[in-house]
Amino acid sequence: MMVKEELKKLGIPYATVDLGEVEIREDITDQQREQVKIALLESGLELMDDKKAMLIEKIKNTIIEMVHHTDELPKINFSDYLSEKLDYDYTYLANLFSETEGTTIERFIILHKIERVKELIIYDELNLTEIALKLHYSSVAHLSHQFKKMTGLTPSFFKSLKHKKRTMLENV
């Protein structure tokens, strides 16, 4: 909404404004571009000019959308999914991501999957078997091992902490 508002104020016609991306209907001058850049900075946002930085953001947004905002993860490999979705060779995406972010795409996906597991455990609507299936883990053991490796806690212990915190909050 902020981006749309700033573009309206500056009188710049746009077609769409999505997460991290704006499609402008006509070419803008360098002066207008600078005005947009300043307006976004004042709003706490940043105009990205660097094509590689934009691609990194697209990778991150695609992973976040895939893990956190879809009911069913794609049945294909994440590498194939990213490659298809972004229309780039996965090796190029993986190398660029690693160079820029200092971590692998796989690790980034795992971190987000574990955050999603935590969220689903806290919601308490699905059991661990259902969570493992939903997030395409080969087994509950695999999910549990990865959860423990990333958080230092077992999913069961994490769930029990949640209940203790809840109980304590209710008693306050």
Q: What is the pTM of this model?
A: 0.70
Could you read off the pLDDT of 131-162 as tens digits, one per residue? Answer: 999 998 999 999 999 999 999 999 999 988 86
Instruction: Report domain extents, the chain.
Output: 2-47, 52-171
**Using the 8-state DSSP alphabet, how is residue 140 labeled?**
H
Asked if 90 contacts 63 with a C-beta cutoff of 8 angstroms, the reply is no
**What confidence category does residue 171 fall into, taking pLDDT thresholds of 50, 70 and 90?**
low
The single residue listed with the structure tokens 């958080």 is 151
Cα dist. 9→33, 49, 63, 70, 145 in Å?
13, 21, 32, 34, 52
In this prediction, residue 168 carries a pLDDT of 45
The pLDDT score that the predictor gives to residue 34 is: 85
pLDDT tens per residue across span 89-133: 999 999 999 999 999 999 999 999 999 999 999 988 899 999 999
Looking at the chain, the number of H-run helices and the number of E-run strands are 9, 2
Token pair of 144 as six digits: 């549990």
Digit-coded pLDDT (tens) for 62-80: 999 888 887 766 677 889 9
For residues 159 and 98, what is the distance between their CA atoms, to the nearest angstrom?
Answer: 33
Amino acid 126: pLDDT: 92
- DSSP alpha helix (H) spans, the chain: 2-10, 30-42, 51-68, 78-86, 90-101, 105-123, 128-134, 140-151, 155-171
Phi, psi dihedrals of residue 89, rounded to the nearest 5°? -65, 135
What b-and-e string marks burial along 131-170, b requiring 16 or more CB atoms within 10 Å of the CB?
bbeebebeebeebbebbeebeeeebeebbeeeeeeeeeee
Q: SS3 string of 12-36?
A: CCEEEEECCEEEECCCCCHHHHHHH
CATH superfamily of domain region 52-171: Homeodomain-like (1.10.10.60)
Q: Are residues 118 and 128 in contact, defined by beta-carbon separation less than 8 angstroms? A: no
